[in-house]
């Protein structure tokens, strides 16, 4: 990394040499988009349920997502990765999903959380597998970050289950629909 108090922290030396640029590009781009979307989902949920009893729980999960997004912003600059062009779209779609699921009630919001977090942890697991196959030593730092975040998302998933997500009416339909949307979002953000 560029170093402590660099006047303009934009050195190309920040990104290590000899990395598989296309693969790392995709990974960071899609993860950044994912964390951005997750932030917007929680923002939507807070907008509706902020003052209810699950408000603090959602707020706490949202804070963790903010930390994740900040980390990916840093990685994006360090590896000089292009953000996905669909960001404005995920901005709106995420908020609508969060607010929409929250309008179905507290259980609905938790169901949405469970679905999204399950998708995300599967996705992170895939990435960990890819990086391990490439070269665990070279990508040690990135692997650590993704593993940590995957554990956080698993925790969110478990919190959702604890708060009766599965008791939502039409839970399996809702969950399938949301996970399909997540898969599509991941596919598009990797490429565009």
Q: What character string, x for contact with other proteins (CB under 8 A) and - otherwise, covers 130-159?
A: ------------------------------
Nearer residue to other proteins within complex by CB, 88 or 137: 88
Give residues 23-82 in contact with other proteins (rule: CB under 8 A): 25, 32, 72-73, 76-77, 80, 82
Which of 18, 51, 53, 133 forms a contact with other proteins (CB under 8 A)?
Answer: 18
By CB under 8 A, residue 128 contacts other proteins: no
We find the least distance from the C-beta atom of residue 77 to other proteins, in angstroms, to be 5
User: Taking the alpha carbons of 21, 27, 32, 33 in that order, is the dihedral positive or negative?
Assistant: positive
> Both tokens of residue 192?
């565009």
Quote the CA–CA distance of 138 and 9 in Å, as a whole number: 23
Binding range to other proteins, per CB under 8 A, among 16-24, 130-138, 172-180, 181-189: 16-24
Nearest residue to 80 via CA among 130, 150, 147, 29:
29
Nearer to other proteins, 70 or 140 (CB): 70
Angle at the Cα of 75 (from 25 to 96), degrees rounded to 5? 80
3-state helix, strand, coil in the chain (%, to 5): 80, 0, 20
Using alpha carbons only, give the angle 146, 154, 177 rounded to the nearest 5 degrees: 105
Chain residues that interact with other proteins, rule: CB under 8 A: 6-12, 17-18, 21-22, 25, 32, 72-73, 76-77, 80, 82-83, 85, 87-88
């Amino acid at each position: 990394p560029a170093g402590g108090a660099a006047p303009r922290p934009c050195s190309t030396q920040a990104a290590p040499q000899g990395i598989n640029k296309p693969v790392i590009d995709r990974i960071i781009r899609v993860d950044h988009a994912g964390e951005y979307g997750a932030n917007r989902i929680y923002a939507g949920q807070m907008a509706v349920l902020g003052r209810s009893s699950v408000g603090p729980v959602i707020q706490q999960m949202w804070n963790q997502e903010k930390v994740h997004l900040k980390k990916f912003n840093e990685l994006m600059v360090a590896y000089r990765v292009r953000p996905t062009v669909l960001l404005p779209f995920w901005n709106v779609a995420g908020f609508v999903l969060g607010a929409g699921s929250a309008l179905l009630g507290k259980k609905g919001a938790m169901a949405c959380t469970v679905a999204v977090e399950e998708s995300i942890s599967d996705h992170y697991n895939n990435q960990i597998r890819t990086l391990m196959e490439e070269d665990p030593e070279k990508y040690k730092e990135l692997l650590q970050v993704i593993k940590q975040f995957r554990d956080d998302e698993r925790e969110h998933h478990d919190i959702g289950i604890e708060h009766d997500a599965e008791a939502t009416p039409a839970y399996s339909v809702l969950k399938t629909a949301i996970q399909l949307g997540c898969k599509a979002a991941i596919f598009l953000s990797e490429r565009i």
